[in-house]
Amino acid sequence: MLELESLVRAGTLLNWCLLIAQEARSIGRCRRLGIPAPTLFSVDLLRNRLYMEDIQDSCRIRDILMGDISTIGLSNLMITDLAAAIGRTVSRLHQGDLIHGDLTTSNMLIRREANQLVLIDFGLSQQSSLDEDKAVDLMVLERCIESSHSTIAQVLLGEIYRNYCGHDVLKRLDQVRLRGRKRTPIG
């Protein structure tokens, strides 16, 4: 289990400043890896606030896949394009030893004009080089897709993993899957 999570669960983490500091640093690392994330303007440790960019002209991948946005009609090509983008993005993240911590399709936005995938909500994010942590990160995404987008889950996951460069992590994921519900994060 990721260290920060267990501290929060145990209720021993009194200084919430550490959490926003962690979130801020993770966003910094993410951007330095070339992965879009909201631009931060200020970290206010006194009031425990992050001031950041409001990503305009975008929608959540979750909403696109659920067809809540009036799209031309979700073709298979669009679904595989999205999945490929997800796979490449998470791959790049993990290659940079950054764990998102809450990989769901609600935390992935598509910025329309730039046609970019933007990751948001790094509140549970941490640095780790362990295959285990990266596999667990993927497991969260897998569970999300299976429950929220069940009809196209196989297509999505297939394409995501096809674009994920991390053979050892995927092998580890096979083991994590077999373990069942023990490794779910908060939320």
Partner 1 sequence: MRFSFPELARHHVDVLLFRGVENVPALRSKVLNGAVGAALLDAGLVSNLFTVRVASFVAVSRVESGSLISKSVHHEVLYYLSAVRNVGRGLQLVGARDETRDVLIVAVNAEDEFIQDLRRFIDGMEVGSIESGLEDIADEARIRALYKIDDSELECGTLSDAVLMRMAIRDVSRL
Q: Does 90 bind partner 1 (CB under 8 A)?
A: no
Which among 52, 51, 37, 173 has a CA at the least distance from the CA of 100?
Answer: 37
* Token pair listed for 32: 């330095």
102 has catalytic annotation:
yes
* Token pair listed for 111: 């910025």
Residue among 63, 102, 131, 137 flagged as catalytic:
102
* Residue type at 166 in one-letter notation: G
Which C-beta is closer to partner 1: that of 21 or that of 170?
A: 21
Q: Does 14 bind partner 1 (CB under 8 A)?
A: no
> Using CB under 8 A, which of the segments 2-10, 27-35, 70-78, 142-150 binds partner 1?
27-35
Among 10, 11, 12, 34, interactor with partner 1 by CB under 8 A: 34
> Using CB under 8 A, which of the segments 28-36, 58-66, 157-165, 166-174 binds partner 1?
28-36
Q: Does 55 bind partner 1 (CB under 8 A)?
A: no
Among 4, 8, 33, 153, interactor with partner 1 by CB under 8 A: 33
Q: Does 73 bind partner 1 (CB under 8 A)?
A: no
> Using CB under 8 A, which of the segments 41-49, 65-73, 76-84, 152-160 binds partner 1?
41-49
Which C-beta is closer to partner 1: that of 56 or that of 151?
A: 56
* Token pair listed for 97: 């030893």
Q: Does 120 bind partner 1 (CB under 8 A)?
A: no
Q: Does 46 bind partner 1 (CB under 8 A)?
A: yes
